[in-house]
């Protein structure tokens, strides 16, 4: 089976639209768009009522359709997002994505990039590089904690860690903030930011169109996927974030480190080198890093699974997987298989995807509103057994980043995997 990850959905929406049959409504009113959205979800999704009853879902669609002529477009956007998110967990692929370049009417994002660390939400990239490293305190006078509390119920998600990765993108969407009443208009807004020394300043930011945001903040491989940190010289796993699969040795050759950043057919030369290093007599530890992997084609990772499950590698204390909120879609499938079939030690955060997910999206155009919604059409699972319904693959050793560690280039997750060597 093939899982089109949210990573790919976010950076290649135009390709998806051209490769899958969109379902535009024959009608042109906002109310009709809402009803068409509800009908499309019921018709396309394999199990739309797993987490919400049909009666409640249809009541929410009817209510929003009835209110559509009387509310603003931005309030309508909030309502549409709330309906989609009401499908509940395992539905991170089904959504309306702010940076989608396929939207006829693009949404707009403020030109900074945010990341939720264990010690707060910080600017990790910006048009104005002087803002990088500052902590988000408030937006339009509303405390950051309250802003996230209001936005998170609108975010499509597989689990809470997927939400943690995706929520900053929606927090930066001007139309979402306006539709929630956090800012007065979907134009310039004041962001209160705190510098490392504690000084707070209000910075006025003007939103830019989603496609422009995607272009300005694109990474070589991940585009503007908000769950990942930007490419950087340090730490190691961010230095080669543009490579789908790469390998090096650490700890004087005693550890083999594999950066597995996208699920695609591996180059035979890279796979041969990984195999050679993994089986080398001096190799004591095999570390596979999935923290940047948002998915791809889950029919391609078989050779790597076979290597990791082999007798020479699959030993307690030798095999380690590094996981986190951006480990999603086909990458979560991979993590679940390794968890199920090997003795690997998992380190980091819980994965952004679980052992069950709904993927392979079909684009649905809301023609009056000018937005695309992507609806999952297939069910994928990598369960240990019939009663395994975990929303995430949990780490054996929980390690989270602080902002302070990130900004000085430290990687406590990899440090823990190398401990004792």
In tens, the pLDDT along 327-337 reads: 999 999 999 99
DSSP per-residue codes, 17-79? HHHS-----S--SHHHHHHHHHHHHHHH-S-TTSSS-HHHHHHHHHHHHHHGGGS-HHHHHHH
Task: Determine the pLDDT at residue 227.
Answer: 86
pLDDT of residue 267: 87
- Could you tell me what percent of the chain has a pLDDT over 90? 87
| Cα 390 from chain centre | 18
- Average pLDDT, whole number, for the chain? 92
- CATH number for the domain harbouring residue 243: 3.90.226.10
Mean pLDDT on 228-233? 92
Helix orientation angle between 160-171 and 144-151, rounded to the nearest 10 degrees? 110
Regarding whether 406 and 320 lie in a shared domain, the answer is yes
Tokens of 287: 């570390």
Give the number of other Cβ atoms within 10 Å of residue 139's Cβ: 23
Same domain, 278 and 396: yes
- Residues 200 and 274 occupy one common structural domain: no
Instruction: Write the DSSP string, 266-310.
Output: PPHHHHHHHHHHHTSTT--EEEEE-TT---B-TTS-HHHHHHHTS
Does the pLDDT value for residue 2 go beyond 60? no
Under 8 Å between Cβ of 231 and 241: yes
Q: Assess whether pLDDT exceeds 80 at residue 225.
A: no
- Whole-angstrom Cα distance, residue 219 to residue 213? 12
Domain end among 216, 251, 268: 216
- Residue finishing a domain among 216, 244, 263: 216
Mean pLDDT of 280-299: 95
391 and 284, same structural domain? yes
pLDDT confidence tier of residue 27, bands split at 50, 70 and 90: very low
Whether residues 191 and 242 fall in one domain:
no
Quick check: 305 pLDDT over 90? yes
Range scoring the smallest mean pLDDT among 18-22, 94-98, 278-282, 390-394? 18-22
Worst-scoring range by mean pLDDT, 6-15, 156-165, 228-237, 377-386? 6-15
Instruction: Provide the whole-model pTM.
Output: 0.92
Same domain? 341 vs 401: yes
Q: Which two tokens stand for residue 364?
A: 């649905």
Q: Find tokens 């509940």 and name the residue.
A: 88
The fraction of the chain above a pLDDT of 70, given in percent, is 92
The average pLDDT across 190-197 equals 97
What confidence category does residue 421 fall into, taking pLDDT thresholds of 50, 70 and 90? confident
Cα gap 96→360, rounded to integer Å: 15
324: exposed, middle or buried (C-beta count within 10 Å: 0-12, 13-18, 19+)?
buried
What's the whole-number mean pLDDT along residues 291-303?
94
Instruction: Report whether pLDDT(21) > 50.
Output: no
- At residue 6, does pLDDT exceed 70? no
> How far is CA 304 from each of CA 11, 258, 263, 313, rounded to the nearest angstrom?
25, 11, 11, 11
CA distance 53 to 325: 28
Residue 8 has pLDDT above 50, yes or no: no
CB 269 within 8 A of CB 303: no
d(CA 170, CA 178): 12
CATH number where 151 lies: 2.30.42.10
Lowest mean pLDDT among 139-153, 206-220, 268-282, 291-305: 206-220
Residue 66 lies in a domain: no
Average pLDDT over residues 143-172: 97
Residue 258 to residues 56, 229, 274, 392, Cα–Cα distance (Å): 46, 18, 8, 22
3-state secondary structure of 405: helix
Torsion of CA 320, 324, 326, 332, to 10 degrees: 50
Mean pLDDT of all residues in 237-241: 94
Q: Are residues 297 and 184 in the same domain?
A: no
CB 223 within 8 A of CB 11: yes
Is the peptide bond between 235 and the residue preceding it cis, with omega within 30 degrees of 0? Answer: yes
Integer Cα distance of 98 and 162 in angstroms: 16
Same domain, yes or no, for 210 and 162?
Answer: yes
Q: Please determine, for residue 190, whether its predicted confidence score (pLDDT) is greater than 80.
A: yes
Predicted confidence at residue 223, as pLDDT, reads 63
> Are 119 and 254 in a shared domain?
no
Residue 60 lies in a domain: no
- Domain span at residue 304 reads 236-359+383-412
Model confidence at 224, pLDDT cuts 50, 70, 90, reads low
Q: Is residue 334 within a helix (H) or strand (E), and if so which, with residue range?
A: helix 330-341
Residue 289 belongs to a domain: yes
Residue 97 lies in a domain: no
Number of domains observed in the structure of the chain: 2
Strands 255-260 and 285-289: parallel
Residue length, the chain? 421
Check pLDDT > 60 for residue 308.
yes
User: What's the whole-number mean pLDDT along residues 36-48?
Assistant: 98
Residue 160: inside a domain: yes
**pLDDT of the residue at 101:** 87
Asked if 282 and 403 sit in the same domain, the reply is yes
Split at pLDDT 50, 70, 90, the class of 11 is very low
What mean pLDDT is predicted for residues 266-272? 91
Q: What integer pLDDT is reported at residue 28 of this predicted model?
A: 59
- Give domain status of residue 23, yes or no: no
**CA angle at residue 330 from 401 to 87, to 5 degrees?**
85
At residue 176 the predicted structure's pLDDT band, cuts being 50, 70 and 90, is: very high
Instruction: Please say which residue of 184, 216, 248 terminates a domain.
Output: 216
* Residue range 230-255: mean pLDDT, rounded: 95
Three-state DSSP state, 96: coil
Whether residue 406 lies inside any domain: the answer is yes
Regarding whether 269 and 353 lie in a shared domain, the answer is yes
Same domain, yes or no, for 393 and 261? yes
């Amino acid at each position: 089976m093939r899982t089109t990850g949210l990573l790919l959905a976010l950076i290649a929406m135009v390709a998806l639209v051209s490769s899958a049959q969109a379902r535009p409504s024959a009608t042109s009113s906002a109310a009709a768009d809402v009803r068409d959205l509800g009908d499309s979800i019921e018709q396309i999704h394999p199990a739309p009522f797993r987490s919400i009853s049909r009666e409640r879902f249809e009541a929410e669609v009817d209510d929003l359709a009835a209110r559509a002529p009387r509310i603003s477009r931005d309030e309508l956007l909030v309502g549409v997002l709330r309906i989609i998110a009401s499908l509940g967990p395992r539905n991170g692929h089904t959504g309306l994505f702010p940076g989608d370049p396929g939207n006829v009417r693009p949404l707009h994002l403020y030109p900074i990039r945010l990341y939720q660390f264990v010690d707060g939400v910080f600017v990790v990239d910006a048009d104005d590089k002087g803002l990088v490293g500052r902590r988000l305190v408030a937006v339009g006078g509303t405390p950051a904690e309250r802003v996230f509390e209001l936005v998170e119920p609108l975010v499509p998600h597989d689990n809470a860690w997927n939400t943690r990765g995706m929520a900053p993108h929606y927090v930066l969407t001007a139309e979402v903030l306006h539709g929630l009443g956090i800012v007065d208009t979907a134009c310039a807004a004041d962001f209160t930011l705190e510098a490392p020394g504690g000084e707070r300043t209000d910075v006025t930011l003007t939103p830019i169109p989603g496609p422009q945001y995607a272009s300005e903040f694109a990474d070589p491989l991940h585009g503007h996927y908000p769950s990942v940190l930007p490419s950087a010289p340090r730490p190691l796993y961010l230095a080669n974030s543009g490579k789908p699969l790469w390998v090096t040795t650490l700890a004087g050759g005693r550890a083999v480190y594999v950066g597995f950043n996208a699920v695609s057919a591996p180059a035979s030369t890279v796979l041969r080198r990984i195999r050679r290093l993994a089986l080398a007599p001096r190799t004591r530890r095999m570390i596979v890093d999935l923290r940047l992997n948002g998915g791809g084609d889950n029919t391609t990772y078989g050779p790597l699974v076979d290597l990791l499950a082999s007798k020479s590698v699959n030993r307690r204390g030798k095999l380690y997987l590094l996981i986190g909120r951006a480990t999603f879609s086909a990458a979560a499938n991979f993590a679940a298989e390794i968890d199920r079939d090997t003795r690997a030690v998992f380190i980091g955060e819980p994965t952004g995807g679980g052992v069950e997910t709904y993927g392979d999206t079909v684009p649905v155009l809301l023609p009056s509103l000018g937005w695309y919604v992507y609806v999952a059409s297939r069910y994928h699972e990598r369960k240990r057994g019939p009663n395994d319904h975990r929303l995430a693959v949990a780490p054996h050793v929980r390690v989270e980043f602080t902002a302070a560690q990130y900004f000085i280039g430290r990687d406590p997750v990899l440090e823990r995997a190398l401990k004792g060597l």
